Structure 1
Amino acid sequence: MKKLITVILFLIALFQTNTILAQDILKGSDLSTVKVDYLSDSDIAKIKSQLQTNNLTIDQVESMALSKGMDPAEFAKLKKRLAFTETSKSAVDKKTTTKKKSKDSDLEDEEDNSDVIERKQEKIENKKVKDSLNSLVFGSELFDNPTLNFQPNLKLATPVNYILGPGDELQISVNGVQEFNDNVSVSVEGKVAIQYVGQISVSGMTIETATQKIKGAISRVYSTVRSGQSQVEVSLSRIRTIKITIIGSKQPGNYSVSSLATVYNALFLGGGPGKNASYRNIELIRNNKVFKNIDIYRFLVNGNQSDNVGLKDNDVIRIPAYTNRVTVEGEAKRPGIFEMKKGEHFSDLLNFASGFNEFAYTASVNVLQKTGKEFKVADIQAAQYDSYLPLNGDVFRISKILNRFENRIIINGAVFRPDTYSFYQGMRVSDLIRQAEGLKEDAYLKRARIIRLKEDLTTEIVNVDLSKAIVGDLNADVALKKEDILTVYSILDFKEEYKVTIDGEVKKPDVYDYQDNLTLNDLIITAGGLTGSASKRVEIARMIKAEDIDDSNPNKVELFNIEITPYSNEQSINFVLKPFDVINIRRMAVVEKPEMVTISGSVSYPGKYVLANKKEKIYNVIQRAGGLTSLASLNGVKIKRPIKKAQIEELENINLNLGKKDSIQNKLKKKLKEDLKYATIPVDWEKVVRNQNGNANITLQPGDEIEVSAFNETVKVAGNVLLTSEIPYKKGRGFNYYLDAVGGLDAKGWRNKAYVIYPNGEAAVTRRFLLIRSSPKVEPGSQIVVPEKPETKKMTTGEWVSIGSVITSLALLIVTSFK
């Protein structure tokens, strides 16, 4: 009979139609007869829905479909029809994954791994509010750290002792000769419904027990499972949410948590214990009985998570008020407020506070206790640490050790190892010097000094004759005491620091240390040698030393003038120097480096030219450049001279008496520093040609730039005019002609201050005498600029009334005076 049933099932699978494929592409056993062209749009939609339900793509089921006999060409057609949907689904999945990462920390990130099926959990939202009321209580930081939440890891293997219940979802797979894959949920009745198998009751079972029961039920339908040719796998694909209640936390209430959640996870969601709640006597109540007493200190101090048990539906976490809290202040590694249980001693409290720090005074601890009426102070000795029972409200104060040494002694100065050493009774000066590895060669043996701290904490000085102490004279080899400071002098300490100064034509003029037998040659070599402009004259100034004042000698120093070879650092006369000598290497009388000017524009040979003499004129340089070309403008020659730093400094030193708030001088300095890089000097070339000896033939300076403009037959009009333009030059036409040619002035144009800039940089402004206005002459290539009128403030009616009142009063005063 069983063989007959198997043959019938095989025949049914063999003749599956396209409709079967559309209904369940994952459950069909023979797909060789599938024709994608005959599938309707609704069939494709069913396949899309099935893939989405199982969180799979068409690429992930390719190998499975081909193994079931589906033709590769038919699968390619199916993939093509699903291509658009698959692309859309990928984008949606990516967006959903990003949203889950940012909003739901209880959901796992989606993985691009076709062999791993994501375990899901219903979204749980619990808003956590940071509370600083218990910031000093030991353990409160555990619930204020957002990166520490004890959230269960959904990617771990399913715990074998996990108890199934309504809301869980199982993934059941049959692999081998026969294949089957389905996700089934545990119903409210505690059952799972498996296709072709029926309903199986699993509620209250562990996952391991439920797996064995499901395998037994499937083996009765799938013979290959019973024979071992197919294997059954059962895993937890969706985890149910349970309800718990937290009492006594910072945020008490009912919470929805994962069925894998633990006590610590729930306490974190509730913000930890409240203001007066206990950290060490938390009760987990299950079925109206205390199931577990939780002490958070076991985890905080020892890392013991034995209290972090799993939760079940309708569990209650009750946090009662604390019974005994004490405070640790001062030199503990972790001071704060601690909760103590009955029978715990001060040594346990020290363990909670991680012990004394390196600066703590450990011999005793001061404690401030509270009686029924007042405070009292007690001292706990080190021998009592294991027996003293802290009382509620105790404040333990751990003080610092004193900044004193019980056996310190110090030696410094001219010894090989100046340092701090340990003192012992009977120690003498020679012993300490021997411990410092002896005296240096420069040690001063006639005297050493001991600074000693007396009993009344004042200090005294004890002098030591080292020459006698080191040879064993007990009177000189003074016995030392703790905190003594022995100083061994160096003969170099008494020697004056001598210097010599060299200046002038050396590469590194400076002040140098003096050594015995220092010569002029030695100092010149130390200063980098002579420069190329050094002369043969050297002046050496030496200070005068005498016991008596010589009024007949008015000299402050003694001067030596010697001659050296200016092209050699080694002199035939090797002059021996003395301390504080000042050496000056003079510069040659004539040392002039070539200096240049630049000429550009309409000359035959523009470029850079060296100034041939100290009074080189512009005419000479232009002639050396081949003279002006035929295109040059005779009125277009100008010199651009760089503004020197000294000129700006001179302006800064001038006080214009404009007042502190006036910015005219500041603006002028800013303009010279930042805006104007050079000053323009106009040249009247015609005068220069007529008389080369006249003032028009300007003497050039290094860095000058000579510009020769080309002849321009237009006149440029700019500024506050209706049209900025260039107007062809017409001989005999005046200033107003060019203003009219551009449409005249605009509303802000200031006619009285209009000016002309000529090609050579010279400017001419409109002049006015009485009612006669004289406009400047216009030449080819010049530029007319019309500035803007300054803004004027109109007088108000009140100001006019005030002026009228003043005039009226004056008139009355005058009339009265003539009566």
Structure 2
Amino acid sequence: MKKIIPLFLLMFALFQSVKMQSQDIMKSTDLSTIKVDNLSENDIAEIKSQLIANKQTIEQVMPMVLSKGMTAAEFIKLKLRLGASTVKVNETTTGTDTDRKQEAVVNIKEKDNQNSLIFGSQLFDNPTLNFEPNLKIASPVNYVLGPGDELQVSVFGVQEYNATVVVSVEGKVSIQNVGQFSVSGMTFEAATTKIKSAIAKVYSTVASGQSQVGISLSRIRTIKITLIGSKQPGNYSISSLATVYNALFLGGGPGNNETYRNIELLRNNKVIKIVDIYNFLVNGSQEDNLGLKDNDVIRIPAYKLRVILEGEVKRPGIFEMKDGETFDDLLRFASGFNDLAYKASVNVIQKTDKEFKVKDIKSSEFKNYIPKSGDVFKVSKILNRFENRISIDGAVFRPDTYSFNEGMRILDLVSKADGLKEDAYTNRAAIIRVKPDLTSEIVNVDLAKAINGDAEANILLKKEDRVTVYSILEFKEDYNVTIDGEISNPGVYHYFENLTLNDLLIQAGGLTGSASKRVEVARMIKSEEIDDTNPKKVELINIEISASNNEQAKNFALQPFDVINIRKVAVYEKPEMVTVSGAVNYAGNYVLANKKDKIYDVIQRAGGLTSLANIDGVKIRRPIDTKQIEKIKNINLKLDKKDSIQNRVINKLALDLKYATIPVNWKEVEKNQESNTNVTLFPGDIIEVSTFREGVKVAGNVLLTSEIPYDKSKGFGYYINAVGGVDNQGWQRKSYIIYPNGEAAVSKSFLFLRFNPKVKPDSQIIVPQKPERRKLSTVEFISIGSILASLSLIFVTAFK
């Protein structure tokens, strides 16, 4: 169906009269979606027959279909499938009525990947190149007129006349009141002079100079040329201003085995020019790009000699050579060697009558070597090695790679590196040297002796030597000390010679306010002998400091790897608070005055409960500590890997709950402050005392979430029924109740008896959802049936 609709639109556009098409398609047809590749051979045959029946050509309907959205590329495909190799596109002008016109010629360009390495082939594969003549230039005075050209003749001034005259097939132009003239074969300049002279005889003001005559070339005729040996050979209708390269481009360039160097331009059965495309590609010269004339023939014969150039050249590929051209010419075609090329010689593989052979061409032979057909030249890379390299690194001011000179000694290289650093270890330097067999050896140097004038110590260097000057800093261990405890920035610090405890305290940001005067220093024990009787691993040193000014009475010197611990004062407790909210007389934040402050103590400090307080609605909300969550994470519930219960519990605690609820029995607390329900408070606790409410809220999987007035004579089931009962997903026997103080109770069953929890004012009844149960599949039913049948057979057999 998708193919029939656009085909119908196309046939409707093509097979009506042009006038009717312009009226109807403008209203209802869009040809922009037509894809010619989707049309079958029967569709193309039908289009041909309809064109014949309507006595129309594809060129006649072209302006209409292009104006209705069909792309030029699709139109070209359609015309090619109808049997044409070239397509005349709609006449174009450059913007005004006086611009020169010319029927353009378009040809489909297809990328030639098979011959892409042939030098010059890219010139004819690039659709952005076409060598079309420029129609905007002034009328060329040497242009030869012929049948089909169109002249614009104007007389302006005292007398006026304006007309467009066409050169007829007899080569004549006819001007009203002036006469008929033969201009065929004349240049535009000569024809202009002839026409002006004739007009001056008729228009008297032209002869007197009161009027002027203007003649311009308004339309360029089309000529016929023939291409032989191109990728798309055939007869072409092109502009009379077209050149050889323009025609070659239309034909797709030389064929697979045709020449790029000896293309023949034949006129009147004579070769008037041998075209060498390399002359244009290499030198940019267009001396071979002659203008074409009607019935010209461009013949592209087969090539005679081609060679391949590979490797390190700027433009590798397949090149065509002429007789007498040398390897130097081939290099010029390839734009020369690239930066990594080995230029001393080039390897060439030649073909003999029986086999291949290899030949090396030295650089001195480049100008004389004549390539042979089928030669394969390979330009290799230079070696990845240096002829005069030497390097130095380590304790010198400019470690780097330097040039090597014969006779260079170690001190010469040190001098090139701007001398030794202050930390240089002069008793020994190392030279890594490559031996003639490419193995390496180390040569030691006494730089101190060399500096003092010892000629033997000032060793003679060789190329590729790698000199290393050591630093005394490399021989020293990186010492550090550690400080911990009541210090602003505890951590590990570098040890420096003469470092004291006072210095380290300042580096670590000073003592905190909780620091005591007691400091413990743990120092490692060093000994040349093992003392099995001494069980100590470290030596402990206790000292006192003045915590107020970060100083000590005696400036204690530290040693490497000391560990310093600043102890905390025995009593240092910052005030911590709890929050009291709800139905109390003085809600707000209260400081814990006692380490064992209980809920009764704090509520009494808050003025006690108000008259509106619900004594059954006292509870504590305690923040869940991150340490508690970590403990839950570390508990192994020994669940299946696919079970997510533990993860859900952790996420619930960390993300949703954040607080744990502690129910408080306030009646019991008032009777006995020593009761377990009189909870000891922690910092951050929130005491909530709810206001008395008489309703009972019912939520969850019930028909109506609502709050029912409290009736002490009614039970659990009454309130569920009061909201319409449970819905189809409700699980009534698992219903539970949450009391005002946060305590919860669930329904219980014993045998056939059911016990529901007691309902209190301001409680909340929750009906949970039934768990989803997966139904057994047909296969599972059959499997169970088979198992039962097998068991039955076993029992019958056993009791026979």
TM-score under structure 1 length normalisation:
0.75
Which letter maps to 1:133? Answer: Q
Partner of 1:792: 774
Distance in 2, matches of 1:611 and 1:258, equals 104
Q: How far 1:547 sits from its partner (Å)?
A: 1.5
Matches of 1:108 and 1:622 in 2, distance apart? Answer: 100
- Distance in 1 of aligned mates of 2:170 and 2:542: 121
Shift of 1:297: 2.6
Give the letter aligned to residue 793 of structure 1. K
Give the match for residue 42 of structure 1.
none
1:729 aligns with 2:709: yes
1:435 partnered with 2:416: yes
| Deviation (angstroms), 1:233 | 5.6
1:535 matched to 2:503? The reply is no
- For the residues of structure 1 that align with 2:172 and 2:783, how far apart are their CA atoms? 100
Matches within 5 A, 1:406-485: 406-485=387-466
Equivalence for 2:475: 494
1:285-315 Cα shifts (integer Å, max 9, x gaps): 4554444433333333333344444455555
Amino acid at match of 1:540: V
* Aligned positions of 1:96-107 closer than 5 A: none
Structure 1 contact 139–300 (Cα < 8 Å) conserved:
yes
Query: Deviations 1:520-546 (Å, cap 9, x if unpaired)?
Result: 233233333334443333222222222
The answer for the alignment partner of 2:259 in structure 1 is: 278
Task: After superposition, give the CA deviation of every residue in 1:655-685 in whole Å (9 maximum; x if it has no partner).
Answer: 3222334444444445555x52524415346
With over 3 angstroms needed to count, the CA separation of the structure-2 counterparts of 1:686 and 1:583, relative to structure 1, is closer
Cα distance in 2 between the residues matched to 1:622 and 1:336: 97
Q: Could you tell me how far apart the structure 2 residues matched to 1:232 and 1:240 are?
A: 23
Trace 1:419-818 onto structure 2 (pairs within 5 A).
Answer: 419-569=400-550, 571-593=552-574, 595=576, 614-615=595-596, 617=598, 640-672=621-653, 675-684=655-664, 686-687=666-667, 690=670, 693-703=674-684, 715-721=696-702, 723-731=703-711, 732-758=713-739, 761-778=742-759, 779-780=761-762, 782-794=764-776, 796=778, 798-799=782-783, 801-816=785-800
Q: Residues 786 and 338 of structure 1: is their aligned pair in 2 closer, same or farther, counting only changes over 3 Å?
A: same
CA contact (8 A) 2:109 2:126 kept: no
How many residues in Structure 1 have an aligned counterpart in Structure 2? 720
Per mean C-alpha deviation after superposition, the further-off stretch among 188-197 and 421-430 is 188-197
Deviates more, 1:787-796 or 1:233-242: 233-242
Deviations 1:218-257 (A, max 9, x none): 7778777666666666666666666555444444455565
Distance, in Å, in 2 between the alignment partners of 1:602 and 1:295 is 107
CA RMSD of aligned residues (A): 4.4
- How far residue 133 of structure 1 moved from its aligned partner, in angstroms, is 0.7
Instruction: Tell me the distance in 1 between the aligned counterparts of 2:585 and 2:251.
Output: 93
Task: Report the CA distance between 1:174 and its aligned residue.
Answer: 6.8
Query: Contact 1:541/1:581 (CA < 8 Å) preserved in 2?
Result: yes
Could you tell me how far apart the structure 2 residues matched to 1:181 and 1:603 are?
Answer: 110
The one-character-per-residue Cα deviations of 1:154-177 (angstroms, maximum 9, x if unpaired) are 555555555566666666777777
The DSSP-based 3-state class of the residue aligned with 2:799 is helix
**Change beyond 3 A, Cα 1:287–1:725:** farther
Shift of 1:568: 2.9
Deviation at 1:134, TM superposition (A): 1.7
**Unaligned runs of at least 5 residues, structure 1:** 1-94
Question: Structure 1's 519 and 215: CA in aligned 2 closer, same or farther, altered over 3 A?
Answer: farther
2-structure distance, mates of 1:360, 1:520: 67
- Residue 727 of structure 1 contacts residue 741 of structure 1 at CA under 8 Å; is this kept in 2? no
Is 1:391 the counterpart of 2:375 in the alignment? no
**Partner Cα distance (1:197, 1:597) in 2:** 119
User: One-letter code of the match for 1:475?
Assistant: E
Structure 1 Cα separation of the partners of residues 108 and 471 of structure 2: 74
One-letter code of the match for 1:787? Q
Q: 2:302 aligns with which of 307, 313, 321?
A: 321
The superposition leaves residues 753-776 of structure 1 with CA deviations (integer Å, 9 ceiling, x where unpaired) of 344455555544443332223344
Matched-pair contact (CA < 8 Å) for 2:242–2:291:
yes
Change (3 A) 1:709 1:574: same
SS in 1 for 2:546: coil
Q: Distance in 1 between matches of 2:592 and 2:550?
A: 33
Conserved? CA contact 2:505–2:550, under 8 Å: yes
For the 8 Å contact 2:223–2:238, the answer to whether it is kept is yes
Alignment CA distance shift 1:523-1:288 (3 Å): farther
Deviation string 1:24-70 (CA, Å, 9 cap, x unpaired) is: xxxxxxxxxxxxxxxxxxxxxxxxxxxxxxxxxxxxxxxxxxxxxxx
Residue equivalent to 2:11: none
Q: Is the 8 A contact 1:718 1:784 kept in 2?
A: yes
1:136 is aligned to 2:136: no
Give me the whole-angstrom Cα distance separating, in 1, the residues matched to 2:414 and 2:225. Answer: 77
What are the superposed Cα offsets for residues 581-605 of structure 1, whole Å, 9 maximum, x if unpaired? 2223334444445555566666677
Superposed CA deviations along residues 323-357 of structure 1, whole A, max 9, x for unmatched, are 22222222223322222222111112222222222
Deviations 1:71-118 (A, max 9, x none): xxxxxxxxxxxxxxxxxxxxxxxx97999899999999999x9x8976
* Aligned amino acid, residue 479 of structure 1: L
* Match runs of 1:81-480 below 5 Å: 122=103, 124-151=105-132, 159=140, 161=142, 244-253=225-234, 261-312=242-293, 315-480=296-461
**1:389–1:730 distance in 2 versus 1, CA, 3 Å:** same
Query: Cα gap change, 1:159/1:762 in structure 2, threshold over 3 Å: closer, same or farther?
Result: farther
Alignment partners' CA distance in 1, 2:404 and 2:113: 51
Distance in structure 2 (CA, Å) of the matches to 1:310 and 1:621 = 111
Going from structure 1 to structure 2, the CA distance change for 1:174 and 1:454 (only over 3 Å counts) comes to same
Asked if structure 1 preserves the Cα contact closer than 8 Å seen for 2:430 and 2:443, the reply is yes
SS of the counterpart of 1:347?
Answer: helix
CA distance in 2, matches of 1:219, 1:562: 129
Residue in 1 aligned with 2:38?
A: none
**SS at 2:460's partner residue?**
coil
| Distance across 2 between alignment mates of 1:774 and 1:629 | 35
Q: Is the 8 A contact 1:100 1:109 kept in 2?
A: no
Cα distance, 1:379 vs. partner? 0.8
Checking the alignment, whether the CA contact within 8 Å between 2:697 and 2:762 is kept in structure 1 is no
Letter in 1 for 2:661: I
Give the Cα–Cα distance (whole angstroms) in 1 for the partners of residues 577 and 285 of structure 2: 87
After superposition, the Cα gap between the structure-2 partners of 1:320 and 1:754, relative to the gap in structure 1 and judged at 3 Å, is farther
Q: Give distance in 1, aligned partners of 2:282 and 2:149.
A: 36
Letter in 2 for 1:683: P
Cα pair 1:279 1:296 within 8 Å, conserved: yes
Q: CA deviation at 1:361?
A: 1.8
Distance 1:333 1:792, change over 3 A: same
**Deviation at 1:369?**
1.2
Displacement of 1:378? 0.8
Change in 2 beyond 3 A, CA 1:633/1:314 = farther
